[in-house]
Structures are given as structure tokens and as C-alpha cells.
Structure 1
Amino acid sequence: MTHPVSPPAGGVPPASGAEKQAPPAESRRTAPPAVFARLDVRTLSLLGVLAALVVAGCVTRPEAFWDVDNLRLVLTQASVIGVVTVGMTFVIAAGGIDLSVGAVVALSSVWATTVATQEFGFTGVLFTAVVVGLGCGLVNGALIAYGAMVPFIATLAMLASARGLALLITEGRTQRVTVEGVLDLGGREAYVLGVPPLVLVFAAVTVAGWLLLNRTTFGRRTVAVGGNAEAARLAGIDVRRQRLYLYLLSGLCCGIAAFMLVVLSGSGQNTNGNLYELDAIAAAIIGGTLLSGGRGTIVGSVLGVLIFTTITNIFALNNAQSDVQQIAKGAIIVAAVLVQSRTVRNELT
């Protein structure tokens, strides 16, 4: 005859077998999440690709590629598009897209180099470039967030409008910079421990972007909106306002990049930023930012920028035609999207 087991004092039933075998809290806390493992593998893979490109450059043109001036050139060229890519990473992580970044860079650069603007000196050029970028971002964000326009259409319209306005301002001519402070910033005398100032600006924007995405509520809301906008809304996130802020951030990055481009070239042209949208989107996707939203990585995006810039530099050193470069970039984008799609399917299963 069996007797019922009386509950222990306090009325708490005895633990089940599954509960008895549960790992202690300390071991659960120390176990690395799987997402971090995937990020580490992805980052190491990108570093491997970058290392392979460096080896290729050293093999094909060892003296030219490994020259200090050439390495500075690679980093400087990566800096301008890199700042744009940081802003693009936030937009894509939230499930959006910005096709207007190149045109906004062009418009910001020519508006900042008009004769009227240059009369205000260094501050006037910098302020104008940033404000024009923010203004374009505000228009994009308002149309998408509050006008319910599809990001592709809204930013495509901004692309055409900004390019047209840049052409109207310049009348097809190159606007030379006469402000000594701007020109001096691009000279060797402005280097800090042998590092060009533009590279330092890129590093600062990268660190700020990483902190904003990974260590702030703004970053968590960005990923949440990209993962499931309706769930984010039900959780209390103002999705429309968040999207507005994201396109403002993208515009800000374009304004900074426009000023950097003015420093680098000493001029403003309506052709500035040509195909920047392609390079920025490609670098973000290659870096691991999910095209459908819900995941973004600043470190991966920066590595993607360095990979693309190194490829361009190797092609240039070997006198390869520009159309071959574009074909190679297109193939890399397709491969990256296919890898992303396969990764997402594996995660879902």
C-alpha cells in the first residue's frame, strides 16, 4: 500500500527531475550566447578576407601596395564612405534603406563650397555641410515615418532631387575651396602621429556608432523596429519617431562625409558621392547587417568598407578597368545576400 507524499514545510512541492538537473545559475550566466559565437565567426571571416586581399596586393604589386603613402590613401578613401556606411548600418538594421546618400553627399559638398558659404570660413563650410545633410535626412524621415512612403521610393526621389539641385547650384562647374583652414586640414602638416585627420574622424564616428548601437536604448529600439515593427510598437516604442531619428542620423553622416570629401578634394562637385549608396549598402551587408532588418554590426560594416576599398586599390594598382571593379563589387553583393539568406533559414530551422 502506497502512502501519499506530504509536501514539505511551506507548501512547496518537491522539484521535478528536470528541475533537479537544471544547471546552476553561475554556469548559465557564463555560457556564451550563440549569437556572440556567430558574430565572432563572421568577424573572423571578414578579417580573413581582408588578410587575403592584403596578401594579393603584396603579391601583385608589393612595392606599391605596401608603401606607407598607399596605405594612408586606402584608409583615407575608406574614411569618407565609411562614415556614410555607419549611418546606413542603422537604417538597414531598422529594416529601411537609403538610396540617396551619394546624392546628399554631393548636395552638401556643393552647398558648403559656394562663394557665399565660404565667406564664413571654416565654420561656415562645416556647418553648412552638416545642416544640409540633416535637412535631407529630415525630409526622408518625415516622408517615410509620417508620410507612410516606402523607403525605396522616398529615398529614390531624394536621390534625383538632390542630384538635380547640386547640378543647379554648380551649373556643372567645379567649385574650388579657398578657405585656408579647410585646405590645411588635408595637408601633411595636419597629420597626427602620421595619421591623416580624416582617418581619425572616421575612427571617432565608428566608436560613437558602435556605442550608440550596442550600449544605448536607441540601439536596442533600432534593432527591435527592424526585427518586428508591430511588436516594437506594442512594446511601447514610437516606431515612427525612431525611423525619423534614423534617417536624421543617416543625413548627419552624409553631411560629415561631405565635409571630409571637400577637405580631401579641395572642391565641391555635383558628381561627388557617385555610387556611394552601392558601396555603403554592400559594405553593411557584407559586414553582417541583415538586409531585412533586425540585426546590425558596426564592426562588420567597417571591415566591409576596408574590403571594398582594398579591392579598389588593388585594381587601380594593377591598372584594371573601372567596369571590372563594378562587376566584382556586384558579384560580392550577390554572394553576401545569398549567404545571409542561407544563414537566416538555418536560424529559423
Structure 2
Amino acid sequence: MLSSPETVTAEKAGDRPPPSPLRALVARADLRVLSLVVVLAALIVVGAVTEPEQFLEWANIRLILTQGSIIGVVTVGMTLVIIGGGIDLSVGAIVALASVWATTVATQDYGFTGILFTAVIVGVGCGLVNGVLISYGGMVPFIATLAMLASARGLALMISDGKTQIVSVNAVTDLGLPKSYVLGIPPLIIIFAVIAALGWLLLNRTTFGRRTVAVGGNAEAARLAGININRQRLALYLISGLCCGIAAFMLIVLSGSGQNTNGNLYELDAIAAAIIGGTLLSGGRGTIVGSVLGVLVFMTINNIFALNNLETDVQQIAKGAIIVVAVLVQHRTSRNAADA
């Protein structure tokens, strides 16, 4: 008996395997990224309507991107840590410590190289301490990084004696001036773009990225699969520390100084940007692209509030509300996926 074309098509469709979990995850990730693009576009419209003469000026857009570049670099490291099942509450304090240590008189004697090297090595050193305590000391990430937060802030205050340390190295401060712009783009924005691209490649195109997702999703299954969990977590905190060191140098360039109050609430901003970007707090899921869009959303909100002369406390309340909504959406999405 001959089958009709419809029957053959139906049989082929029935034989076709269901979509893989990876493909479904990619589809959800694309939907989250698209939703963030829509939110960002809506904010741009709001900014253009409320402050049409200032918001769309290239100088203002450049300001948003420049300010977002520093927290954006920190967010790249934070995103990788959270995807790997951890958390880092010390990023802001590490930025402060690195910026203060890198701007001491003794460090500035070594010029541009001395400042850059010191900022990076301090950040990596703090990340190493966090990673060792968590991976090999058995400490909970929340406690270990909270201890680092307090220690780094205290050490930054001790080194600076509570004073602002002015940078006198022209090669550093000149990077923040228009004469250093590349095609009208500040070097800090370019650095952020490069770090974000490297983070995306690391997460999506390397074995290290796949292991990070595996460890964050199910650490025991990852261990049984032969992944060295301790070494993976240590590497993630080293990357987070490295990002903090780079961000500290960028902050030095932007402000021309080092202060123990630098990086205040960076941990909140980085975690919030990662969360609204689709990174799951429990680990195992997240995207660098989403986190970058999350940073841009927050920076745009801050800029709109500033242009409309709204108080800082209103900005913080708005951030808190956005975090709550993002987490609730995550929980609902995860529950629906589990039910399916």
C-alpha cells in the first residue's frame, strides 16, 4: 500500500528526534538577549524623549560607554565565576586595593609599566587567595569573598591613609584624554570590547568554557566525568581577579588617582548585570553577551536619572527592583523548564 506524501511527512516527523537540550538552551538564551535589546531600545527612547538635547549627543553616549567599560570588565569575570557555581563579593574591594597599590609614590617611580603591572598582579593575587580558600580550603564562596572584601578594603585604607593618591605619570593619564581616542572612541571602551570578546570566546569556544558550565551545573557529575573541579574553580577566581586588576587600571586612567573608596558597590552592579543578562545564580547557565547588555542597561538607567536630576538613592532602589524582577523571572523559567 502506497503512503500519501502527508503520511510520509508525518512518519519522518515522528522519527525525527526531539530538539537537544543544548539547542533549547541556545534558543532561550537568544530570547533573553533579544528581550534585553528591546529593553535597551526602550530606555534609549525614554532618554531621547526626556532629554532630547543631551541624551543622543555622541559625547553623552561616549560617557555611558566609558563609565560602563570599567564595571563591564568586572562583570565579565563575575559572569564566569557565577556560571561556574561561585560568587565573588570582593570585586569592588579588589579594585580599590589594586588602584591604591598601583598609585603609590614607589609604584609610580616605575612609570606606566609599574602601574599597570601592579594593578594586574594585585588583582590576580587577591583572586588567587579567594580561589585557594574556596577550592582547597573548603570555604563557602560567600564567606571567603566576604572576608576578602573586608581585608582588601582595610588594606587599601591602610596604604592610602584615607587620602587620594594623584597619578603623575603622563603616559597613564593621557589615555583618558581625547588625543588618545581611536576614531573618536576612548581606549577604555576598546579595552572593554576586547575583554568581552575574549570572555565570549573562552566561554563558548573552548574546553575551559564547557568545563565551567559543567561544574556550575552539576559539580558531582563534572567530577565523575574527570574534570578537576578544584583547579577549575581556582582558575575562575584568578580570571575574576585579573579582570578586577584591569578594571582598577582603567579606573586610574579615568580618574587620574587611586582611592580606597574606589569600586564601591561594584559587586552589586556586576552581579545585577550578570543576573539580568540571564546568568543563573545557582550556576551552569549564562552568557557574556547578556551580561554586557545588562551593563549597558544599568549605565543607561543611571545616565537617564542623572540627566533628569534624580537622586542616587532612587537609582539604587531601581537597581534593586530590577534584580528582584530578574530573579523571579529566572525562577519561573527554571520551573517551567523542569515541568516540561
Classify the TM-score, shorter chain: over 0.9
Unaligned runs of 5+ residues in structure 2 are: 1-9
Paired with 2:227 and 2:20, the residues of 1 have a C-alpha distance of 31
Could you tell me which of 158, 169, 187 is aligned with 2:159? Answer: 169
Partner residue, 2:108: 118
Q: 2:322 aligns with which of 329, 332, 349?
A: 332
Aligned to 2:52: 62
Q: Partners of 1:100 and 1:299 in 2: how far apart?
A: 23
Partner amino acid, structure 2, of 1:159? L
Whole-angstrom distance in 2 between the partners of 1:345 and 1:153? 28
Q: Structure 2 vs 1, CA of residues 28 and 348 (structure 1 numbering), >3 Å: closer, same or farther?
A: closer
Are residues 1:99 and 2:119 paired?
Answer: no
Pairwise mapping of residues 14-93 of structure 1 onto structure 2 (< 5 A)?
A: 21=11, 33-93=23-83
The alpha-carbon deviation at position 68 of structure 1 amounts to 1.1
2:6 matched residue in structure 1: none
Larger radius of gyration: 1
Secondary structure at the counterpart of residue 64 of structure 1? coil
- The SS at the match of 1:148 is coil
SS state of the match for residue 288, structure 1? coil
1:313-336 Cα distance to aligned partner (Å, 9 max, x none): 111111100000000000000000
1:39 CA drift (Å):
1.4
Give, in whole Å, the separation in 2 of the partners of 1:26 and 1:126.
55
Q: 1:24 to 1:346 in 2, by over 3 A?
A: closer
Q: Report sequence identity in percent.
A: 74
Aligned to 2:209: 219
1:31/1:25 Cα in 2 relative to 1: closer, same or farther (>3 Å)?
farther
Q: Deviations over 1:263-289 (max 9, x none)?
A: 000000000000000000000000001
The alpha carbon displacement at 1:75 in A equals 0.2
1:204–1:25 Cα change, 3 Å: farther
Which secondary structure does the structure 1 equivalent of 2:87 belong to? coil
Superposed CA deviations along residues 176-217 of structure 1, whole A, max 9, x for unmatched, are 000010011110000000100000000000000000000000
SS at 1:33's partner residue? helix
Instruction: Kindly state the Cα deviation for residue 296 of structure 1 after the two structures are TM-superposed.
Output: 1.5
Counterpart residue number, 1:271: 261
TM-score under structure 1 length normalisation: 0.92
Q: Measure, in 2, the Cα distance between the counterparts of 1:85 and 1:130.
A: 16
60-69 vs 237-246, greater mean Cα deviation: 60-69
Aligned residue identity for 2:327: V
Query: Is the alpha carbon distance of 1:327 and 1:27 closer, same or farther for their aligned partners in structure 2, counting shifts above 3 Å?
Result: same
Pair 150,325 (structure 1): closer, same or farther in 2 beyond 3 Å: same
- Give 1:298's aligned residue: 288
Query: How many pairs align?
Result: 330
**Partner of residue 178 from structure 2, selected from 170, 179, 188:** 188
Q: Alpha-carbon deviation of 1:28? A: 8.2
Decide which of 195, 211, 224 is 1:205's aligned counterpart: 195
Q: After the TM superposition, which parts of structure 1 deviate over 3 Å for at least 4 consecutive aligned residues?
A: 20-32
1:112 alignment partner AA:
A
- In structure 1, the residue matched to 2:3 is none
Tell me by how many angstroms 1:21 deviates. 3.9
